[in-house]
Structure 1
Amino acid sequence: MKLQKNIQTIAKDTLLKEAEAIQNIVKFIDDDFERTVLEILQMKGRLVVTGIGKSAIIANKIVATLNSTGTPSIFMHAADAIHGDLGMIQPDDIVLCISKSGNTEEIKLLIPLLKQTGAKTIGLVSNEDCFVAKHVDHVLKAIVSEEADPNNLAPTTSTTVHMAMGDALAVSLLQARGFTAQDFAKFHPGGALGKRLYLKVDDIYPKNELPIVNQDDLVKDSILTISKKRLGAAAVVNEKDELVGIFTDGDLRRMLEKHDNFSALRIDQVMTKNPKTIEKGEYAIRALNEMREHDINQLIIIENKKVVGFLHISDLINEGII
């Protein structure tokens, strides 16, 4: 098989065409887009998203994004709608019709029927001069000059800009609602994503041992504590039980390089001062970011300057945060 262009060039050309198409639709974010957002914010029902063919696939994705960001949404296939599914539409709903041409027969048949339900309608189209644009309450314009494929036939650029416009709509609604990371976590409790949003260090560190030594303790005694607790480190505290340092496997290796005899060495002579800590009650994802930023494997959990626990990088791996 002989190609006129190499595969890398074809792929890059495709991405550049689609990127340019997304940039070009920025100018279509207008007053009608804003009115659409306000209409959806005020609706008492659900946003019903419909389409046919590739537009139906995009509609499903937009529904998933909207639901996960606080806008109640359902998908309705345009062909099924005219064969019974229209019964799911309620007067308080808003229906978003997705169609590249805006002249698809199923959509042309559907829109008058939607009007009879009393639901408001929105069109997401790539053609301003079309049936949908002329018969809906609001129009979201995702105009494209050509598809990315050389025959200008396969839905590529058009589906990309439709999905991008759906994201613009979802994010606009999200921010208008003041939707927070905590709100997002309510809809994503499962998997690594959910844990990143709700899991706190308090949920993890109590399972670990708590190796603590006094700053006046001898190194040889401290090593026994570290070995027994199996975390590869110990928190070093003063007479007020306040954190003053940490002694790790790395500190031990550095000590052995410098000292042939450490039988009389105190832990405060070889510890690392001002260790990295995180407050009790913080999110586990912040602990991960701290570890990555400082290239360390453990953090000391503190509360009112007192050591309450240890968190190791392996804990975060086991929880699926990484």
Structure 2
Amino acid sequence: MSNNEAIKAVAKEVIEIESSAISHLKSLIDDEFSSAVEYIFNSNGRVIITGIGKSAIIATKIVATLNSTGTPAVFMHAADAIHGDLGTIQKEDVVICISKSGNTPEIKVLVPLLKNGTNKLIAITSNRDSILGQQSDFVLNAYVEKEACPNNLAPTTSTTAQLVIGDALAICLLNLRGFTSKDFAKYHPGGALGKKLYLRVRDISSANMKPQVNSGADVREVIVEISEKMLGATAVIEEGRIVGVVTDGDIRRMLNRYDNINGLTAGDIMSKNPKSINADAMAVDAMEIMEKNSISQLLVEEDGEYAGVIHLHDLIKEGII
């Protein structure tokens, strides 16, 4: 077997081992899992998540997911906890400890210290019979038969299982909270994802020039307006309201259709009933309309009157596309 084929075979085997383990987790979701979710949901404190080694790395990701979906969470490294960071835990907090074996030296030291307080302890572990499993108030079973590592040593399948259990926990809490896309946007204001959730049409169109002519405008005036405003189109307006649009494409079609353009007006060459969008709509909705209709710009309306133009290039610049 060539190196190329051998590499692909190993990769496929890893994916098969891990996917089988994840699929098996479904059978481990029980009433205890539900009770743990409900306890966190009804608590008045934060979720403190701790672990050691690779489990600590998984813990930081679960903390990030909980925070972004409406459940306040804090990471506390298990080794640091026994050297002063136990002060992170407040009276009403819930503690989640992640450990595959549940019997690592740091966990053995930490668990009794956690149990000295009044905080509930939730375990995410593959070993219910471990010290962690026996001492926890709730056990979220993350059992895996074997690691993807051929020596069954490097944490691979087990950390994937821990991550999936954490995701399941976070999404269950999200559903109980009725957490919506608007709530999500509050915690994700940056980047393309945040912009899709909060950026509105007016936020973009207000920065553009506002090309417009009346229906009786000479075609040369129309061409100048399109050229100067640099948006590839101009609205045709009567009494503040949109009656049509003239685009670069309309100008090209006019030149193909007429040998003499003298006397032509905006009303003669405009497209009637153009696509438009309300200024208060989400920018991502503007993108969907443009894609669906294969157009590059949309006229913007506010309170029934013409308010400007939003262009496909604006959405690309903002990272919406």
Same fold (TM over 0.5): yes
Whether 1:132 aligns to 2:106 is: no
1:124 to partner: Cα distance: 0.4
Q: Which whole-Å deviations, capped at 9, do the CAs of 1:15-36 have from their partners, x for residues lacking one?
A: 2332222222112222111111
3-state DSSP of counterpart to 2:107: helix
SS in 2 for 1:19: helix
- Shift of residue 306, structure 1, vs aligned partner: 1.9
Separation in 2, partners of 1:8, 1:111: 42
Q: Which residue of 1 aligns with 2:179?
A: 179
The structure 1 segments of at least 4 consecutive aligned residues displaced by more than 4 Å after TM superposition are 1-5
Q: CA deviation at 1:303?
A: 2.1
Residue equivalent to 2:242: 243
- Mapped to 1, the partners of 2:300 and 2:229 lie a distance apart of 16
Q: Which amino acid aligns with 1:84?
A: G
Partners of 1:287 and 1:246 in 2: how far apart?
A: 17
User: Distance in 1 between the 2:123 and 2:95 partners?
Assistant: 8
Moved more, 161-170 or 100-109: 100-109
Residue 160 of structure 1: aligned partner: 160
Question: Is the Cα–Cα contact under 8 Å of residues 142 and 162 in structure 1 kept in the other structure?
Answer: yes
Secondary structure of the corresponding residue to residue 74 of structure 2: strand
Give the match's secondary structure for 1:204.
helix
- C-alpha contact (below 8 Å) 1:48/1:76 kept by paired residues: yes
Q: Identify the residue that residue 313 of structure 1 maps to in structure 2.
A: 312
Q: 1:99: Cα distance to partner?
A: 0.7
State the 1:157 CA deviation: 1.3
Aligned ranges for residues 1-322 of structure 1 at < 5 Å?
A: 3=3, 5-237=5-237, 239-322=238-321
1:155 aligns to what SS in structure 2?
coil
Segment of structure 1 superposing worse, 208-217 or 117-126: 208-217
Residues 200 and 284, structure 1, Cα contact 8 Å, conserved in 2: yes
Q: Following the alignment from structure 2 to structure 1, what is the Cα–Cα distance between the partners of residues 17 and 66?
A: 27
Give RMSD over aligned pairs.
Answer: 2.0
Aligned residue type for 1:256: L
What's the TM-score, normalizing by structure 2? 0.93
Q: Which structure 1 segments of 5+ residues have no match?
A: none
How many residues end up aligned between the 2 structures?
Answer: 321
Q: Deviations over 1:114-160 (max 9, x none)?
A: 11011100000123332222210111112211222222222111111
Question: How high is the TM-score relative to the length of structure 1?
Answer: 0.92
* 2-structure distance, mates of 1:6, 1:133: 39
